[in-house]
Amino acid sequence: MSVGFIGAGQVAHALVRGFTAAGVIASHKITASSPDTDLPTVQGLRKLGVHFTTSNKETVNKSDVLFLAVKPHIIPFVLDEIGPDIEDRHLIVSCAAGVTINSIEKKLLQYRANPKVMRCMTNTPVVVREGATVYATGTHAEVEDGKLLKQLMASVGFCTEVEEDLIDAVTGLSGSGPAYAFTAADALADGGVKMGLPRRLAERVGAQAMLGAARMLLDSEEHPAMFKDKVCTPGGATIHAMHVLESGGFRSLLINAVEASCSRAKELQKLKS
Amino acid sequence: MDAETDSPRIGFIGAGNMAFGIAKGILSGNIRPENVKVSAPSLRNLGRFQELNITTTHSNTEVVCGSDIIFLAVKPHVVPLVLHEISPHVTHGHMIVSVAAGVTVATLEELLPLGSVVIRLMPNLPCVVLEGALLFARGTCATQDHGAMLRSLLHRCGLVEEGPEAWIDIHTGLSGSGVAFVYLFAEALAEGAVKMGMPSALAHSIASQTVLGAGRLLRESDKHPAQLRSEVCTPGGTTIYGLHALEQGGLRASTMGAVESATERARELGRVSAATRNGK
């Protein structure tokens, strides 16, 4: 089985890094294409042993599973370009935020009777095989296609199938989520530095605290609030800090952020139709 | 002790709401009204005790001499006067249980004979409907058996727990004042409904039943309230929208602040009353 990426930017690079680290596919079985050869990610892809080309057509011809990893507004142009070269064997997987399966199928139906399309929303931590991916299945994709995609994406983190109408919410939560986490880690480190820690140490223990907490949550069925309670000694340091967080509206800010990202994803989708 | 049943004789000095609530709870156990006495300076509050067939009197001394366990349910500033009055009649066989806010075990023990068995109790208002939350702290000479006796007397009043004296102020903030916080929340729930078009009387009635129902479910469940909350939130449903509005309003932080504020005030009042007494 060979895999191709139309687009050689962040998403392609992250997925390739993850797949090759997982050993789920050999890098020489991967092709990536982009008109722009100056992208730093292009270098990265080449170093990983991926076959890079400026020809999208070549990528299509060399692949069975084809990831569309370009910016959402580029998708229609790419589809027009590669439409004629799509064969029965091809599984098209779009990673573009806000681009519906329906819009992709409509384009491809101009060239082919039963295009197999899937849509996924993943996130950058696929790079370290801790991604969060959801996918939705298009009209003509088979059960085996879903299994294949799941196998690929599960090698780089958590992966599950969803109804397409949930994808925008996932975008808001785990698509954008790493950015929220990076920002939190940065600010926590600042807090550490303010209280006297060297920056490097502050970043290290702050990020580790987040990682550790996430691991505890993922390994258990318990509600996060129960974990929080166990950390908060009566009258202790942590509960004082929690009150500060609550006073600042920490929870509602996070809810607002997820909502804003999700709404924007929906909006972007409307702009395109 | 009552010779016939070997159950303790209970006395109340003070006949206010707290005394009444506790009396009701005690009577719903196996203490008979004949073994309960209450004293108050005026007849005003004694009527409802009489309706329960409890003996009433104006004499604090009579209550002390005729009881084994005495609840001191007078206003804090009256406590020193009352203790001064009854002290000559207090023996090691008595258990004095004070429900006076801000009056410490140290203060009580200082005003009573050496070796007196003293317990400080903080009930809350819903004792009057036998749904109280009561926390007690044992004095120097009160043993675990004394605590157990008090617990068995009070268990019909609601939830009874023991703790170090330091927790009493926190209990005041949480559950003494907490009742008022809940009233405020219920009022606001109703107002929200009125805003959305429901008649006020109905809104209030439903709001109070909602609080009661949620409270019961919470108490009867083994689950963390956060768990119960999450279970009620259908994805994209009405509840999560409402909760978001509450989070945006900082409800959690202000509730934590309310308990903190009330607790700090209880501590302060405790210091003030001790200082006042020392000043005398």
The count of residues in chain A is 273
Does the structure show a pLDDT above 70 at B3?
A: no
| pLDDT tens for each residue of A146-183 | 999 999 999 999 999 999 999 999 999 999 999 999 99
- The pLDDT value given to residue B272: 81
Q: Do A247 and B257 touch (CB under 8 A)?
A: yes
Residue position matching structure tokens 């075990």: B105
Q: Do B252 and A251 touch (CB under 8 A)?
A: yes
Tokens standing for residue B256: 């934590």
Q: Which residues contact B65 (CB under 8 A, 6 or more apart)?
A: B89
Which of A176, A122, A112, A111 shows the shortest CA–CA distance to A149?
A122
| pLDDT tens for each residue of A77-113 | 999 999 999 999 999 999 998 899 999 999 999 999 9
Count Cβ atoms within 10 A of the Cβ of residue B116 and give its class: 0-12 exposed, 13-18 middle, 19 or more buried. Answer: buried
Residue position matching structure tokens 């290290």: A204
Q: How far is CA A149 from CA A51, A62, A87, A135, B106, in A?
A: 21, 18, 18, 8, 72
B230 Cβ under 8 Å from any chain A Cβ: yes
- The pLDDT value given to residue B276: 73
What is the pTM assigned to this prediction?
0.82
- The pLDDT value given to residue B270: 87
> What value does the mean pLDDT of chain A take?
94
ipTM for the complex?
0.73
At CB < 8 Å, which residues of chain A contact B? 223-226, 229, 243, 246-249, 251-252, 255-256
Q: How far is CA A99 from CA A71, A72, A272, B212, in A?
A: 10, 6, 8, 48
Q: How far is CA B220 from CA B157, B214, B242, in A?
A: 17, 10, 24
Does the structure show a pLDDT above 90 at B275?
A: no
| pLDDT tens for each residue of A215-256 | 999 999 999 999 999 999 999 999 999 999 999 999 999 999
> What value does the mean pLDDT of chain B take?
93
Size of interface A-B (CB pairs under 8 A): 39
All residues of chain B having their beta carbon less than 8 Å from the beta carbon of residue A255 are 244, 247-248
- The whole-number average pLDDT for the span B211-227 is 94
Contact between B252 and B259 under an 8 Å Cβ cutoff? The reply is no
List b or e across B10-45, with b for residues whose CB sees 16 or more CB atoms inside 10 angstroms.
bbbbbbeebbbbbbbbbbeeebebebbbbbbeeeeb
Does the structure show a pLDDT above 90 at B149?
A: yes
Q: What's the CA gap between A92 and A119, in Å, rounded?
A: 8
For helices B225-232 and A224-231, angle between their N-to-C axes, nearest 10 degrees: 160
Q: Which residues contact B164 (CB under 8 A, 6 or more apart)?
A: B137
Q: Do A224 and B226 touch (CB under 8 A)?
A: yes
Q: Do B230 and A246 touch (CB under 8 A)?
A: no
Does the structure show a pLDDT above 60 at A273?
A: no
The pLDDT-based confidence of B5 (bands split at 50, 70, 90) is low
The pLDDT-based confidence of B1 (bands split at 50, 70, 90) is confident
Q: What's the CA gap between B142 and B137, in Å, rounded?
A: 9
- The pLDDT value given to residue B254: 95
Among B231, B233, B252, pick the best mutation site for testing chain A contact (most A Cβ within 10 A).
B252
- The pLDDT value given to residue B279: 62
Long-range residue pairs from B108-115, CB within 8 A, at least 24 positions apart, any chain: B108/B72, B108/B79, B108/B83, B108/B139, B109/B139, B109/B140, B109/B141, B111/B79, B111/B80, B111/B83, B111/B84, B111/B87, B112/B83, B112/B87, B113/B87, B115/B141
Count Cβ atoms within 10 A of the Cβ of residue A215 and give its class: 0-12 exposed, 13-18 middle, 19 or more buried. Answer: exposed
Q: Which residue of A has its CA nearest to B228?
A: A223
- The pLDDT value given to residue B78: 93
- The pLDDT value given to residue A133: 97
- The pLDDT value given to residue B29: 83
- The pLDDT value given to residue B222: 85
| pLDDT tens for each residue of B72-81 | 999 999 999 9
Q: Do A243 and B226 touch (CB under 8 A)?
A: no
Among B246, B247, B254, pick the best mutation site for testing chain A contact (most A Cβ within 10 A).
B247
